[in-house]
Structures are given as structure tokens and as C-alpha cells.
Amino acid sequence: MDEREQSGKSRPMVGPLEGIPLPDLERLPDYERGFWDASRNGELRIQRCLACGMLRHLPTPMCPHCHSLKYEWSEVSGMGVVYSFIIVRNPVHAAIREKEQIPYNICLIELEEQQCLRICSNVINIAPEDIQINMPVKATFMPAVDEPAVVLPMFIPDLKA
């Protein structure tokens, strides 16, 4: 648990957590499916209102800005910055505890396409101690450990930014 490597830092996450809740692809509402369908194709797509053009996440059946019901799943670059984050060091779920998956990070990523457009994810390949607010990151896609049909957008530090 919380293994420190020689650097004195905790080990990085390398992929999705195991054994935790996942979306049930069979039961999702119609206005959410596009996110998961795109992710399975290695794309990050966000709902965009066809009337006013605003991107929105969480997905909703109606545009909260102009109230249009028409939307598309708009591909975004997957580039963004860390808006806020936490490092979980105490498990609140049995699978986290049993499989010794702490520490892990939860990051709120602000996507570059629109102010305040944020999605929740993990940043992999970086020690938790090195994660910082405003750090540039880019999306990558990895299947969930327990259900490969569910592909999760994950983020990696964007060293070129």
C-alpha cells in the first residue's frame, strides 16, 4: 500500500482501476451513449448543441443554454489542463482495498475547446506528487479491466505543451 519508489514518490497509475463500478452499456440513456461509443473508437466526443454550438458535459437531453433538443457528438482534441485533483490514499471501495490500488489520482480535466468544460478522469504515467493544477494533459483510451467493451478516456502528461 502506498509503495514509495526510490525517488520517495508514490508509484504512478498505469491504467484504469480494477473492480470498480462501470457504466452498464445496455441500460444507458440515449443521450449518453455517444460518449462511450466514441471512446470505444479511440475518440473523445462531447455533446455539442446544434442550435447554439455550446459543448456540454455531463450529457443532458436538452441544451441547458438554449434548450434545444438537437445535438451532435463533437470530436474534441483531447488536450486540456488539470483544473483540480485529489490523491486517494484511503480506500472507500472493497476492490480498491483488496487489490491494493492506492494511491490513485482523480483529476478534473478542463478541455481546451471551451471554458469550464471539464471531465473527470485519471492521469497516468506520473507520480501523484508531481501532478499540478494547470498541468497540460492529453487523452488516451484504455479498456476497463473488468469489461473491455467499456473504454475509458484516460489522460497522460502532455510533455510537448
Q: Which residues contribute to the site for other proteins (CB under 8 A)? A: 16-17, 20-24, 27-29, 32, 35, 57-58, 64, 83-90, 92-93, 96, 101, 103-104, 106, 108, 116, 118-122, 128, 133, 144, 150, 152
Residue 90 or residue 125: which is nearer to other proteins going by CB? 90
What is the rounded CA–CA span in Å between residue 137 and residue 142? 16
- Beta carbon of residue 72, minimum distance to other proteins (angstroms, whole number): 19
- Beta carbon of residue 74, minimum distance to other proteins (angstroms, whole number): 17
Residues facing 107 on adjacent strands:
85, 121
Residue 51 or residue 133: which is nearer to other proteins going by CB? 133
What is the rounded CA–CA span in Å between residue 107 and residue 72? 26
- Beta carbon of residue 129, minimum distance to other proteins (angstroms, whole number): 9
- Beta carbon of residue 21, minimum distance to other proteins (angstroms, whole number): 4
Assess contact for 127 and 10: CB atoms under 8 A. yes
What is the rounded CA–CA span in Å between residue 135 and residue 128? 13
- If 0-12 CB within 10 Å is exposed, 13-18 middle and 19+ buried, where does residue 37 land? middle
Strands (E), 122-161: 136-143, 151-157
Residue 50 or residue 88: which is nearer to other proteins going by CB? 88
- Beta carbon of residue 34, minimum distance to other proteins (angstroms, whole number): 12
DSSP H or E stretch at residue 94: helix 94-98
Residue 50 or residue 142: which is nearer to other proteins going by CB? 142
Residue 97 or residue 160: which is nearer to other proteins going by CB? 97
